[in-house]
Chain A
Amino acid sequence: MQSNAALEYDYSVAKLFTYTTILFGFLGMLIGTLIASQLAFPELNYLLGEYGTFSRLRPMHTNIVIFGFTLSGIWATFYYVGQRTLKVSMAESKFLMFIGKLHFWLYFFGALVAVVTLLMGISASKEYAEFEWPVDVVIVLVWVLWGISIFGLIGIRREKSLYISLWYYIACFLGIAMLYLFNNMEVPTYFVSGGIGSIFHSVSMYSGTNDALVQWWYGHNAVAFGFTVPIVAMIYYYLPKESGQAVYSYKLSLLSFWGLMFVYLWAGSHHVLWSTVPDWMQTMGSIFSVVLILPSWGSAINMLLTMKGEWNQLTENPLIKFMVLASTFYMLSTLEGPIQAVKSVNAIAHFTDWIPGHVHDGVLGWVVFMIMAALFHMAPRMFKREIYSKKLMEAQFWLQTTAVVLYFTSMWIAGITQGMMWRAVDEYGNLMYSFIDTVAVLHPYYTIRTLAGVLYLVGFLMFAFNMVKTMTASRKLEEEPQFRSPMAA
C-alpha cells in the first residue's frame, strides 16, 4: 500500500477499551459518590456489611478510576491515535492485532481479580499501589504487552517522525513502568517462610521513611504519568483534529515536553513535607513543584493559543468546549498544586480535604473531560455514525462543570477551615478545639460535595447514554468526517 493511498484503520482494540472506559468510569464514580455521601451521612456505611465501609471502598474508588477508567481511556485513544499518527493500520500486522487483543483481555481479567481482592481486603495498604503481588504481576504483563504494541506499531510505521502525542504516550509507558516496578518491590512471605499463611501476602522491600519516600515518588508521579502525560497526549491530537487548527507552537511543545519530563519526578517529596524525610528533599520537592508551573502551563497555553482566531468554535461545538475547559482546569490544578507544596501552606493544607479537592478539580475537570471529549471525537470515526445528541452533550457539559465547581469550592473551604481549627489556640496557648469539633464542622461541606458527586455522576450517565446511542441508533455516515465531529441536534 502506498503512503498516500487512503488507509483503512482497524479500531477493534480501541473499541474494546472504549467500552471499559465507560464501564469503569461509571463504577468508579458511583463508588466515589457513595463514599462521599458516607462522610456526610455515616449510616450509609452499612449497606454491604464489612465490604461497604468507607475505608474498604475508598481504595476501590481510587483504583477503579485510575487503573480502570483512566488506563482504559489512555489505551482506547492510543490504539486510535497510534495508528493514525504513524500512518499504519493494525490490520496490516496479524501479530500486533493479536498482541492488542491479548493486551485488552489480560487487562480485563486483571481488573476483575483486582476488584475482588480489594473487596476482600487483600491490600498492601500503599496508596494507589494497594494491589498485592499476584495482581502486580498481571499489571506488569499487561504493561509489557502495551510496550510491544507501541514499539511494534512504530516499527512498521510509514510516517517517520513521531507526532507530539506519541512522545507523551511513550513517556507514560516508560515512566509508569519504572515507578510501578520500584514502588511495588515486595517479598512474598509465603515462599520465604516455606509455605506458611496466605499466598497473597507480602512485605515491602523498603521500611519506614524509605518506604514513604519511594511511595510518594511513585504516588505523585503516577499522577504525573497517568493523569497528566497521556492526557496531554490526547489534547495535542484531538484539539487540533476537532478544530482543524494547527498546534500553535512546535517550540513550546518541545519546551513543555522535556521540561515536564525533567521536573515532575523531583516534586514527589512535597507529599511528605514536615515528615521525617530529610529536610533538603522536602525543600527540593517544594522548589521543583513551583518550577513545574512552567512546563504545565506551557502545554495548556499552547493548546489555548491553538484556538487563536477560532474562538467562535467554542460556541458552536460542545466538543471544543469540553477540551478548552479541560485545558483551563489543568491550569487551575497545576497552579493549585504548587501553592499547596509551599511548606507554610502545606502545614495547614496537608491531611485536610483541600487535598482531595485539588485532586478532583484536576481529575474531574481535566482528565475525565478530556477523555470524554476524545471518546466523543472518536465515536463517529470508529462506529461510522454521527453523534446522537448535541443538546444532551451541552446539558452534560453544564451539569458537570457545575459539579466540579461545587466539589472544589466546598473542599477548599472544608480543608482550610479544618486546617485552621487544628492549630487554633486560645489566649493561654491551649488548643481551642477537640478533634471531633473539627469533624462536626465539616458536615455542610461534605453534603455539598455529595451533591456535586451526584450531579457529576448523572452527567457521566448522560455521556454513556449518548455514546451507546451513537454506537447503535444514530444516523449512519457515508464518509469519515475530516475535522468537526458531526452531531444530531
Chain B
Amino acid sequence: MFHWLEKNPFLFSVGVFLVIAFAGLVEILPNFAEASRPVVGLKPYTVLELAGKEVYKKDHCIACHSQLIRPFKAETDRYGQYSLSGEYAYDRPFLWGSKRTGPDLHRVGNYRTTDWHENHMWDPKSVVPQSIMPAYQHMFTNIADIDTAYAEALTVKTVFDTPYDTPNGVKLGTLDEAKAAALEEAKAIAADMKNQDVKDAVANGQIPEIVAIIAYLNRLK
C-alpha cells in the first residue's frame, strides 16, 4: 500500500515531518499575541527580584512548588484568586511547575512575610514541624548575582520591549544605578531579618541570595 513511500527516504521524511508539525501550527501559533498581553498595572520585576528569581531557578524550587492557582473553590480558598494569563506576561521562563510536593506559591506574598521566609529557609521545621522541605542555609552565605539579573532586565527591555524606565514604572538605568537601587531594596528587607551575617553583608554592599529570593517571594501576589 505504502511500499513505494518506504523506498523513498526523502519523501518519507518530509511526510513524517509535515504530519508531526501540523498540530503545533494549529494549536500554538494562533493565540500567541493575545496570551502574552499583561494585565493592567503589571510592573516588570526589579533587578533584585530578578536576582531572586534566579535563585528560585538555581535551587530548582519548581521541583516541588507550583505557581498556578486553578479555578476551583478548594484552590481559591487555600491560595487566593485564581491565576490569570496576563499576570505571567513578564515571566521568562514561566514557573508554573507540575508538582505540589509543597504548596502553591503564586500569591505567597499575600500571606507570608520576610521573617517567616527567613526562619523557614533556615530551618523549615521551626515553622512547619512536619515539613519535609530541606533547609536552604547556603542561601544565607552565597551572594546573589546582581550583574546577571541586570543583564536579564536589559535584555528583555531591548529585545522584548518590557517596559522599564517608563513614567511611574520600574527604573532600570545604568548598571551602577541598578546596583545601587537593588542594594536599597535589599536594605529594606534585611531590616526585617534577624541573621547578623546577612545584615552585615548588606551593610557592606553585598546581597546574599536569601535577601534576593525573599524580595522575589514577597513580590508574588
Contact = CB atoms under 8 A, between A and B. Distances in A.
Interface stretch (B23-31, B194-202, B210-218): B23-31
Nearest to A123: B57
Given A123-B57, A262-B22, A203 B16 contact: no
A189 B83 CA distance: 28
A162 B10 CA distance: 11
A347 B2 CA distance: 42
A471 interface: no
A258 B19 contact: yes
Given A55-B63, A196-B147, A212 B96 contact: yes
A201 B148 contact: yes
B85 A58 contact: no
A: contact size bracket: 35 or more
A355 B98 contact: yes
A57 to B, nearest CB: 9
Given A56-B59, A347-B70, A207 B154 contact: no
A431 B74 contact: yes
Of B27, B57, B103, most A-chain CB atoms within 10 Å: B27
A121 B60 CA distance: 8
Interface in A261-279: 261-262, 264-266, 268-269, 271-272, 274-278
A196 B1 contact: no
A121 B77 CA distance: 34
Contact of B154 (A38, A59, A193, A425): A193
Contacts of A209: 35-36, 85, 88, 94
Nearest to A423: B74
Contacts, number: 264
Contacts of B170: none
Contact of B24 (A58, A203, A265): A265
B20 interface: yes
A125 B20 contact: no
B90 A196 contact: no
Contacts of A49: 138
B91 interface: yes
A148 to B, nearest CB: 13
Interface stretch (A106-114, A170-178, A365-373): A170-178
B36 A53 contact: no
A55 B61 contact: yes
Interface string A108-146: 000000000000011111110010000000000000000
A309 interface: no
Nearest to B23: A265
B206 to A, nearest CB: 16
Interface in B131-148: 131-136, 138, 142, 145, 147-148
Contacts of A167: 6, 12, 16
A356 B6 CA distance: 37
Interface string B1-24: 111001101001100110111111
Contact of B16 (A205, A261, A278, A436): A261
Contacts of B166: none
A292 B56 CA distance: 36
Contacts of B75: 422
Contact of B155 (A45, A203, A217, A268): A203
A261 B70 contact: no
B71 interface: yes
B21 A196 contact: no
Nearest to B79: A435
By Cβ-Cβ distance, the 10 closest A-B pairs, closest first, are: A208-B88, A197-B148, A265-B23, A45-B134, A121-B58, A276-B85, A197-B151, A193-B151, A125-B57, A50-B138
Given A217-B28, A265-B22, A353-B99, 5 more contacts: A49-B138, A174-B20, A178-B24, A197-B150, A351-B97
19 contacts: A50-B136, A55-B64, A154-B9, A170-B13, A178-B17, A197-B145, A203-B156, A208-B86, A209-B85, A214-B28, A262-B20, A264-B23, A266-B27, A269-B27, A274-B71, A275-B83, A276-B85, A424-B74, A435-B78
Interface of A: 38-39, 42, 45-46, 49-50, 53-56, 58-59, 121-127, 130, 151, 154, 160-162, 167, 170-171, 174-175, 178, 182, 187, 189-190, 192-193, 196-198, 201, 203-215, 217, 251, 254, 258, 261-262, 264-266, 268-269, 271-272, 274-278, 281, 284, 288, 347, 350-353, 355-356, 422-425, 430-431, 435-436, 439-440
Interface of B: 1-3, 6-7, 9, 12-13, 16-17, 19-24, 27-28, 31-32, 35-36, 54, 56-64, 66, 68, 70-72, 74-75, 77-78, 83-103, 128, 130-136, 138, 142, 145, 147-152, 154-156, 158-160, 175
